[in-house]
Amino acid sequence: MNTNYDRLGSHRDVSFVKEFQHMRDVLCELTRADQVEVLMGSGTLANDAVAGQLSLLCKPGLILISGEFGRRLIKHANGAKLFFETLEIPEGQAFERLELERALKANPAIEWIWGVHCESSTGVLNDLEMYKYVCAKYDIKLCVDIIGSIGRVSIDLSGIDLASCTSGKGLGAPPGLSMVFHQYDLQPAPDFLPCVLDLGIYQASGGIPYTIQSSLIHTLLIALKRHNWEQRFEEVRNWSTSIRRKLAEIDAPILAPDSCAMPAVVTIALPEIHSSETIGDALREHGVHINYRSHYLLERNWIQTCMTDTEKKPSEKLVRLLKKELAQ
Ligand SMILES: *Cc1c(COP(=O)(O)O)cnc(C)c1O
């Protein structure tokens, strides 16, 4: 085994720093963001970092909930001792402009909104442009979790204050890096935030305040350059149209309506006569892998199929096997 880890390159190497800055530029270009800070960790860490920034505002906010991942934002917010209200809608739906405006009018003290772009649990994609419109109209900050949507749909982060994502999932790189895009300059807040969450320290240190694994930066850059992203987003849309049509043909009850469907994720809410676990196990025995083991899927009797990183067409075998299971 090669244990000469030095050969991976130090995070202080001039060439590494150059590659790191280039990777940040590519990320910002992909999302039309101003700046991005990169942390070692998963998407959850990026959301904690967003909560940390929100805590510095010392103003009340509004958290949007329409599924598991929206609900997790509450935990982040409580951990950072934020003042906030919640707006919850039924799972499987997207937020509407009038709902948001009503909530903001009812509580004029609200200074920020934090929500999930793609609610990965339900397969719903929220309307980011509408969020931006509303937040600009009421002059409040907008923070979004784009962990489930980056690399799968075109995203324009201009006008969005903070957005969190990860190297895994849609970007198709190994997990291990989490990112927060930001539109305004961040100031270090050593009296208020733990060092590792203090995005202002990252910005003040040229993005690399602490040790970072250079190979993760390298593989993320490779993943970012592997696709022509506009073409990739079209493949994702085509995959979605195709799988949704096939599932409709076999009467599989798709949770999210076409109008707010997340292109790369389809959640099926099974009727009570079927068990998501039994069906998930049965498909797995035939070599077809669907999501069903997460606690929130098991609790709701839901199964989920996601477009994989390399896939272009949905699996015919999945549809065939599912049809058989649903007929039983
Ligand atoms: C996966 C996911 C998370 C959690 O990300 P981790 O990398 O597992 O920490 C948060 N939000 C959304 C929308 C997700 O899809």
Instruction: Write the pLDDT tens digit of every residue in 21-56.
Output: 999 999 999 999 999 999 999 999 999 999 999 999
* Of the candidate ranges 8-12, 90-94, 106-110, 121-125, the one whose mean pLDDT is the lowest: 8-12
Confidence band of 5 (pLDDT split at 50, 70, 90): low
* Of the candidate ranges 34-38, 113-117, 160-164, 324-328, the one whose mean pLDDT is the lowest: 324-328
Q: Which amino acid appears at position 37 of this protein? A: E
Identify the domain boundary among 226, 242, 258.
Answer: 226
Question: Is the shortest distance between the CB of 145 and ligand 1 below 6 Å?
Answer: yes
Number of separate domains in the chain: 2
> Coil, helix or strand for 266?
strand
Quick one: which atom of ligand 1 is closest to the CA of 121? Answer: 15
Provide the pLDDT for residue 9.
Answer: 63
Q: What is the CATH number of the domain that holds 259?
A: 3.90.1150.10
Q: Do 243 and 162 share a domain, yes or no?
A: no
Q: Distance (Å, rounded) from C-alpha 50 to C-alpha 323?
A: 43
Q: Do 304 and 198 share a domain, yes or no?
A: no
Q: Tell me whether residue 96 is exposed, middle or buried, using C-beta atoms within 10 angstroms of its C-beta: 0 to 12, 13 to 18, 19 or more.
A: middle
Q: How remote is the CA of residue 75 from the centroid of ligand 1, in Å? A: 13
The parent domain of residue 27 ranges over: 4-226
Residue 6 confidence (pLDDT) above 60 = no
| First-last CA distance in the chain | 51
Provide the pLDDT for residue 312.
Answer: 85
Question: Is the shortest distance between the CB of 294 and ligand 1 below 6 Å?
Answer: no
Q: Distance (Å, rounded) from C-alpha 31 to C-alpha 36?
A: 10
Question: Is the shortest distance between the CB of 50 and ligand 1 below 6 Å?
Answer: no
> Coil, helix or strand for 96?
coil
- Rounded to the nearest 10°, the torsion over CA 192, 142, 75, 203 is -40
Provide the pLDDT for residue 7.
Answer: 52
The helices-and-strands tally (H runs, E runs) of the chain is: 11, 11
With contact defined as beta carbons under 8 Å apart, do 115 and 70 qualify? yes
Residue 180 confidence (pLDDT) above 80 = yes
With contact defined as beta carbons under 8 Å apart, do 173 and 222 qualify? yes
Provide the pLDDT for residue 310.
Answer: 78
Q: How remote is the CA of residue 147 from the centroid of ligand 1, in Å? A: 6
Q: Do 214 and 251 share a domain, yes or no?
A: no
Confidence band of 60 (pLDDT split at 50, 70, 90): very high
Radius of gyration, CA atoms only, the chain? 21
Q: Identify the residue whose tokens are 């442009």.
A: 129
With contact defined as beta carbons under 8 Å apart, do 64 and 90 qualify? no
Q: Do 100 and 162 share a domain, yes or no?
A: yes
Identify the domain boundary among 226, 258, 276.
Answer: 226
Q: Among residues of the chain, what percentage have pLDDT more than 70?
A: 97
Residues 258-308: pLDDT tens digits? 999 999 999 999 999 999 999 999 999 999 999 999 999 999 999 999 998
Name the DSSP letter for residue 85.
Answer: E
Confidence band of 58 (pLDDT split at 50, 70, 90): very high
What is the full DSSP assignment across 36-47?
A: EEEEES-HHHHH
Residue 2 confidence (pLDDT) above 70 = no
Question: Is the shortest distance between the CB of 23 and ligand 1 below 6 Å?
Answer: no
Atom 6 in ligand 1: residue holding the nearest Cα: 43
Q: Do 211 and 311 share a domain, yes or no?
A: no
